[in-house]
Structure 1
């Protein structure tokens, strides 16, 4: 395992003395894990939001990494943010919160959130910014800011509305209602809902599945889907066509076609 000290980022100081989380890189499996560990509830401090963004940006640029996993130690993913920190933070700092939390969405590589137990507030918002969420039977998702006289401030309600519609989002946000992992799976928020003891195995399986595809095609698909989420259908189809055309000249596409006809497993190189 490689530790965070080997990561490189323009703002290298951000990567020093990580606040409430750690990073592990398994180069053999092309995987990086960001692990929340501030027991018992893995509260995410204000400084950690800046650091999480910097770490994800560094991992995005790290050639050893194909897939990033955001997970936690203990029985809860995160009960949310440091509430006192909101009162102490400057308006300028608060205005950056959504940008920091959106780092998984901006990352060109697949990002998986492995959720169990409490997944509240910014913990839920970070997970919503990831590409895939795996929940367990113990998972509870919530955006409880109404109880503090506030609203979600890091993209939570906006992303949720895109996924489940305005009615269900109002039900969750305006009532500070908790939804179970099973409900999240049924509503399309989570891609899987497994027994709590199976979360690690399900995460491992998804990592290996994602690694089996062309990294170039995967990056292209993620960017295309993100860029066209709000686009009219005609524009989305046009952009999809341009991306498809560019990939047709790639080495990975040629390898994929040759492997298909040769009835063998493709060896993608990302070019």
Structure 2
């Protein structure tokens, strides 16, 4: 038996990307996942699974340090393919959140840069990213109540962790749209920049993140994700273990030496 002989749902997927493309720039250690199904970049059921596999592949790619999720055109995404929900089995639909959570599971920093509509699954996959850059034109929303549904890919759960139950009920139960500046004020978005500066702000954040130790960044992301629901004492204990492990890393030694030498550190991720 060979690997190809094993049955796996991914083997039934098309080799072509469905509604998006991938751009890798080894010189800048950057990978871009670009939604490109104009005009609203609707995300299909197949695309969700392909996106998960893409994040996993980029996570394993040594040429990539930072991943950017962005879109062509005026809108990030108006959400999912509504008809696809009726065609999918209840079991399939119940697993959608696993695919959408791929950016959170990825060990590398993931930036979501959005302008225009960022609705439904578009908002949910953005919430699973580490950094969210928005503009005054950005509109976040979970409009599922208008369809007689609720968010099904982690949107309400992630949002409640960020902004609390009162604001989450206001957004989810009223299908309320939140503009970029308000999302930034509420702590949902990392930064709100003028629309014309979104690409430049994304480039700057990528370059900033590339300047840190990849080992320390992977450790920090996993620690913060793992301790989000932990009691304070457990979070502090885990933080101490992670700190002690990094204490013996080459990157930490390089960071200390660079600090004393008054030069930029040259981290290698070990």
TM-score, normalised relative to structure 2 = 0.95
Aligned to 1:75: 74
Aligned to 2:4: none
Q: SS at 2:43's partner residue?
A: coil
> For residues 264 and 15 of structure 1, do their structure 2 counterparts lie closer, same or farther at Cα, with a shift above 3 Å needed?
farther
- Where does structure 1 lack aligned partners over 5 or more consecutive residues? 1-9
1:267 aligned onto 2:266 = yes
- Where does structure 2 lack aligned partners over 5 or more consecutive residues? 1-8
Q: How far is 1:215 from its partner?
A: 0.1
Aligned to 2:124: 125
CA distance in 2, matches of 1:257, 1:14: 48
Aligned to 1:226: 225
> For residues 149 and 62 of structure 1, do their structure 2 counterparts lie closer, same or farther at Cα, with a shift above 3 Å needed?
same
Which is worse superposed, 41-50 or 13-22? 13-22
Q: SS at 1:167's partner residue?
A: helix
1:153 aligned onto 2:188 = no
Matches within 5 A, 1:25-40: 25-40=24-39
Aligned residues: 262
Q: How far is 1:16 from its partner?
A: 1.1
Aligned to 1:137: 136
Aligned to 1:192: 191
CA distance in 1, matches of 2:11, 2:250: 34
Which is worse superposed, 83-92 or 224-233? 83-92
> For residues 239 and 172 of structure 1, do their structure 2 counterparts lie closer, same or farther at Cα, with a shift above 3 Å needed?
same
Q: SS at 2:34's partner residue?
A: strand
> For residues 162 and 254 of structure 1, do their structure 2 counterparts lie closer, same or farther at Cα, with a shift above 3 Å needed?
same
Aligned to 1:5: none
Matches within 5 A, 1:81-96: 81-96=80-95
Matches within 5 A, 1:42-61: 42-61=41-60
TM-score, normalised relative to structure 1 = 0.95
CA distance in 2, matches of 1:95, 1:175: 23
CA distance in 1, matches of 2:131, 2:258: 28
> For residues 175 and 48 of structure 1, do their structure 2 counterparts lie closer, same or farther at Cα, with a shift above 3 Å needed?
same
Alignment check: 8 A CA contact 1:15 1:54 kept = no
Q: How far is 1:15 from its partner?
A: 6.7
Aligned to 1:18: 17
CA distance in 2, matches of 1:97, 1:259: 45
CA distance in 1, matches of 2:52, 2:29: 20
Alignment check: 8 A CA contact 1:81 1:123 kept = yes
Once superposed, which parts of structure 1, at least 4 consecutive aligned residues long, lie more than 2 Å away? 10-15
Q: How far is 1:92 from its partner?
A: 2.2
